[in-house]
Amino acid sequence: MQRNDVMHVLNDPLAQELIGSNIPARVAYTSVDGSPRAVPLGFHWNGEQFVICTIPGSPKVRALAAHPQVALTIDTDTFPPHVLLVRGSASLETVEGVPPEYLEAARKQVGEAGMPAFEAQVRGLYQQMVRITIEPRWAKLLDFQTRLPTPVEDLIKRMSAAAG
């Protein structure tokens, strides 16, 4: 998928609503033992990439260093579901202290009122963190009204062609 096509999907108003919500990204990756993992993670969208921060000893850090390909979804639990699907590659950078993206990701969950106490706590706890930057290479948005999974769209086309 071309970069401008990916960004067109990610800049869609529905995608931006999902990205700006307090819904965690469910991130799928391959563990160092080769088995699949999927974990809900807070994230920050910087307009170009998804940024997730974690501690240096986290199992996902070792796994992503070995296998940087990831998939993530941000989705609702309402009907019809709204789903943003993204595939990409992760890069890792160990930074001193608490990255600003970690605080921005937390703000969606903690809220403005809780941020001073939360920030003080994490700054006292984390000497270093790993900034995981996910470069989107593919994206699809589903609303199950006008945007459906491709196999469903294909089935509808075949049924229409057979009926007409």
Tell me the residue range of the domain where 73 lies: 3-163
- SS in 3 state form for the chain? CCHHHHHHHHCCHHHHHHHHCCCCEEEEEECCCCCEEEEEECCEECCCCEEEEECCCCHHHHHHHHCCEEEEEEECCCCCCCEEEEEEEEEEEEEECCCHHHHHHHHHHHCCCCHHHHHHHHHHHCCEEEEEEEEEEEEEEECCCCCCCHHHHHHHHHHHHHHC
User: pLDDT per residue over 114-152, tens digit each?
Assistant: 999 999 999 999 999 999 999 999 999 999 988 888 888
What is the reported pLDDT for 82? 97
Of 68, 59, 71, the closest CA to residue 33 belongs to 59
**164 pLDDT higher than 80:** no
> How many structural domains comprise the chain?
1
CB 41 within 8 Å of CB 27 = yes
Pairwise CA distance, residues 13 & 20, whole Å: 10
pTM, two decimal places: 0.91
Q: Return the CATH number at 41.
A: 2.30.110.10
**Which band of pLDDT confidence, cut at 50, 70 and 90, is reported for residue 156?**
confident
What is the reported pLDDT for 60? 97
Percent of the chain with pLDDT over 70: 100
User: pLDDT per residue over 82-113, tens digit each?
Assistant: 999 999 999 999 999 999 999 999 999 999 99
HSE of 16, CA atoms in CB hemisphere, 13 A = 8
Of 140, 131, 138, the closest CA to residue 64 belongs to 131
Pairwise CA distance, residues 140 & 151, whole Å: 13
**8 pLDDT higher than 90:** yes
What is the reported pLDDT for 5? 97
**Which band of pLDDT confidence, cut at 50, 70 and 90, is reported for residue 18?**
very high
CB 91 within 8 Å of CB 68 = yes
User: Considering Cα of 58, then 59, then 63, then 64, what sign does the dihedral take?
Assistant: negative
